Amino acid sequence: MALAVLGTVTTSYAQDPRSTIPDALAQAGVSLSRHTTTPSGVAPDITRILRDTDVIVRGTIGPPRTYLSKDEKDLYTDYPLINPIVLFDPGVSSSRTPGLAPGITVTIFGGGTVRIGGLTFTSKPDALPELPTGAEALFLLKRVGDQYQLAGGYYGAFEITDGQLKRPFTTKENFADDSRGASASATAETWVAAIAKLHQERK
């Protein structure tokens, strides 16, 4: 199905796993989009996400940058954090004392748009369409190589409004419902204590 959007033809398609995004655009000759649905089943509980967490950070979401993965078959979107405050990082000796970090970027797998050869490729994961620039948020992050990705894939990001956790950014229903409206600082302290205990048990 082809849709005309602002004068540009965009076709939704299922990508051949053997082809790269640039190859797919060249073969199609039109802009393409890929849509992935929210995972089915019961949402994970927060304990499961904490087990997948290496770092807890609070900060303001900066403007995104979307780019091709190394194999050029997927997209990543980087969101730099403005004035990030690291609340927990076992790799830093002073991690128990919150402090400003030199620079932290949250990387989301999928999402965003790249332009190649005059055509665009857009990825739209339902589970986390995007992070809103300028919003304050609390992040549960996992180190993957040199990246900080969301713990649990799409679950480790929570919007903060007036000092309270407004909602998780993921669209998955019934995830972390008991955290909505809770104090962001108090919740972060609870999560830091839980993760610190988990890391201690692994030693």
pLDDT digits (tens, 9 = 90+) for 127-167: 998 899 999 999 999 999 989 999 998 999 999 999 999 99
Full residue range of the structural domain in which residue 48 is found: 2-202
pLDDT at 149 (0 to 100)? 96
pLDDT at 65 (0 to 100)? 96
pLDDT at 13 (0 to 100)? 56
Q: Degrees (nearest 5) of the Cα angle 156, 97, 181?
A: 40
pLDDT digits (tens, 9 = 90+) for 24-33: 999 999 999 9
Task: Please give the model's pTM, rounded to 2 decimal places.
Answer: 0.85
> How many separate domains does the chain show?
1
Long-range contacts of 82-89 (CB under 8 A, 24+ apart): 83/59, 84/57, 84/58, 84/59, 85/57, 85/58, 85/59, 86/55, 86/56, 86/57, 87/56, 87/57, 87/58, 87/188, 87/192, 88/55, 88/56, 88/191, 88/192, 88/195, 88/196, 89/54, 89/55, 89/56
d(CA 127, CA 38): 5
